[in-house]
Amino acid sequence: MAIEMSETRDLLVLYGSQTGTAADVAELLGRKAKAHHFQVRVRSMADYQVTDLTNESLVIFVVATAGQGDAPDNMKAFWRFLLRKQLPLDSLSQMDFTVFGLGDSSYSKYNYAAKKLHKRLLQLGAQQFYKRGLGDDQHLLGYDGELTPWQLGLWSTILHRYPLPPGQTVVDTLLEKPAPKYKCAVMAADLPSLSPNSTPEFIATPTHQPTPERPLYAKVLVNARITADDHWQDVRHIVLDTPSINYRPGDVCVVRPYNPPALVEWFIDYLGVDACAQFILTQADNFVNFPPPHLLPDGASVRFLLTHYLDLHAKPRGRYFFELLSHFAESEREVERLRQLSMPENLDELYDYCYRVKRTPQEVFTDFPSLRGNVPLSYLFDLFPAIQPRQFSIASSPTAYPNQVHLCAAIVTYQTRITAPRIGLCTNMLKHTKVGDHLKIWIVRGTICMPKQNHTPMLMIGPGTGVAPFRSFIGERLGSPEQANKSCLTIEGAASGSKGQCMLVFGNRKRDKDFLFNEDWAAYEKSGGLDLITAFSRDQTEKVYVQQQMMRRGEEIWDLIQSAGAYIYVCGNSKRMPDDVKKAIEHIVATHAPMAKEEAEAYVEQLETVRRLQLETWA
């Protein structure tokens, strides 16, 4: 009698993640697959040999979409490979797949990376075994709004196609505590203990360009508030000492933040761990990769882990956070409540309790005091994501300020129903940095860059902190404000013909409260090199915005675009401003060209295609 071979139950979860959310979702799906008795690997696309795809039988792709509809950084090489025309169209016919995308429908290119990957995989002959799911940050429940219902269908489809081996049932992780992804063992106590703040770091300034693996420890030279003290928003001008670092105007400085020391101490006390102890990570299976050593070096202390690796401030990782905690609470009332919060049918309660008010993990732990001292170190890797670096447009020109990088950062703080204010991890770290402290930084290319020709005029629209890269552009053309001040005394400074005109459109709330870099612009204006247009929305009863001020100067702007071939840059908050400004430009073109509305739209679109209109926006 022939014995039927049991099917291999291999499942690969591949993710492309920009901020870590897709990695989170991938791990969550991986854990669920484990509960369905699959052999699971969860990998970032950057850590995966793309040619192995021709051997995979079952793959779930989890893909985030970055800024302008692009593939996330750790997907880029993988994606370029898949796009090659030489790949035979049926070469992935052995593969069953599905895709879950993570996007934000307030951006125009909503979930494009996931949608494109989905289409390309179909083109290459892969079979879609379950519908594509698209998570949306604009959903009241975030990506969970789609992920929860999508998963229900996913697992029933998978069970139908890959029935469980006889005698096995799906593990209910609510009843059975899941294994942690790493085992974290504290090393023997006789090892020399590290002093509380000592971390296995590497302060030496690299002689090469810094990278995420080897960041520069840049010394803080200035940390100044540049909004009025009684203004609601704290905006900082931070000057970093960056010898031997190369960048160009428009580039972006990436900062790796760490948790506030008080928060770290709170967790050390709450968890009841020995902060100085060193630990080693091991793993039962091949589920996920270890954290890279540049983020979590061998021999790191528990305090290092809690300060520099785990994001103690991140919003709780969905229902799983509460499910996991329910295994560690001792009080029955707390266990019951944590379970309730983790059930898919109670998503609205979880939303009300946690996400709507932006509750922090610390506040959740406080609400469940019987967790104190009962959460094992190993599970912290499942509870907290890794700290993600943050990007800031560089606000200085390398020519005007050699060996320096300037940042212009609005400190994030706001109020919800919770009495204590909400704060942003990185900007609050910046707020509290003192002169002489060091920040871990490196540089990446921005999406905008200056015109090749020095005489091409630039029209720069940068309300709020969106003005940052334009301080770099203008400095590159006109030198530092001090130099500009001097040159206005000489005749040739005022009429330096070889330099193209700079027109800056700045907007904010109030002229005397948040007119960022006010004095710099005044110096440039005096030197004759800068034409400044401002809009302060709250200085009069009627609100005035940059786009209205632009339309008032429509004729000049049209002349600058049409006759002088100006480049146009728009930078700042992505909510409404970029669309409003684009419409204003279309309006200017339609009025002064003059053109029909459709023609003007096509004209502006053409400007964008040839990169004479460039946008850099952030949420």
In order of 185, 277, 278, 304, 506, the CA distances from 193 in angstroms are 15, 7, 8, 13, 54
Task: Give 427-495 as a DSSP string.
Answer: HHHHHH--TT-EEEEEEE--S----SSTTS-EEEE--GGGGHHHHHHHHHHH--HHHHHHHTTSHHHHT
94 contributes a contact to another protein by CB under 8 A: yes
Nearest residue to 315 (alpha-carbon basis) of 368, 256, 248, 360? 360
Examine residue 129 and tell whether it contacts another protein (CB under 8 A): yes
Asked if 238 interacts with another protein (CB under 8 A), we say no
Q: Least distance from C-beta 423 to another protein, angstroms?
A: 16
Nearer to another protein, 368 or 569 (CB): 368
Q: Which is nearer to another protein, 128 or 283 (CB)?
A: 128
Residue 143 near another protein by CB under 8 A: no
Task: List binders of another protein among 11-50 (CB under 8 A).
Answer: 50
Q: How far apart are CA 75 and CA 418, in angstroms?
A: 38
Cβ contact 546:505 at 8 Å: yes
Query: How big is the site for another protein, counted in residues (CB under 8 A)?
Result: 73
Among 32, 41, 116, 390, the residue binding another protein under the rule CB under 8 A is 116
Per DSSP, 263 falls in state H
Q: Which of residues 50-89 bind another protein (CB under 8 A)?
A: 50-51, 53-55, 57-58, 77, 79-81, 83-88
Residue 174 lies near another protein (rule: CB under 8 A):
no
C-alpha 171: how far from its chain's center?
34
Contact yes or no for 241/222 (Cβ under 8 A): no
Tell me: does residue 2 bind another protein (CB under 8 A).
Answer: no
Window 570-609: residues binding another protein (CB under 8 A)? none
Residue 70 or 531: the one with the smaller Cβ distance to another protein is 70
Q: Which is nearer to another protein, 96 or 586 (CB)?
A: 96
User: Is residue 263 at the binding interface for another protein, with CB under 8 A as the rule?
Assistant: no
Say how many Å lie between the first and final Cα of the chain, rounded.
64
Q: Contacts by 366-372 with C-beta closer than 8 Å and gap 24+?
A: 368/325, 368/329, 368/331, 368/334, 368/337, 368/338, 369/331, 369/334, 370/329, 370/330, 370/331, 370/334, 371/270, 371/325, 371/328, 371/329, 371/330, 371/334, 372/270, 372/272
Residue in 100, 112, 143, 558 binding another protein, rule: CB under 8 A: 112
**618 binds another protein per the rule CB under 8 A:** no
SS3 396: coil
Query: Which residues, numbered 394-433, are part of the site for another protein (CB under 8 A)?
Result: 416-420
Angle at CA 453, nearest 5°, toward 451 and 458? Answer: 45
Nearer to another protein, 84 or 434 (CB): 84
Cβ closest to another protein, residue 118 vs residue 303: 118
Binding positions for another protein, 325-364, rule CB under 8 A: 333, 337, 341, 347-349, 351-353, 356-357, 359, 363-364
Which lies closer to another protein via its Cβ, residue 115 or residue 440?
115
Interface with another protein includes 494 (CB under 8 A)? no
Kindly tell me which residue out of 2, 3, 160, 188 binds another protein, with binding defined by CB under 8 A: 160
Task: Report the nearest approach of another protein to the CB of residue 116 (Å).
Answer: 5
Minimum gap (Å) between residue 289 Cβ and another protein: 20
Residue in the structure block whose two tokens are 């509809």: 69
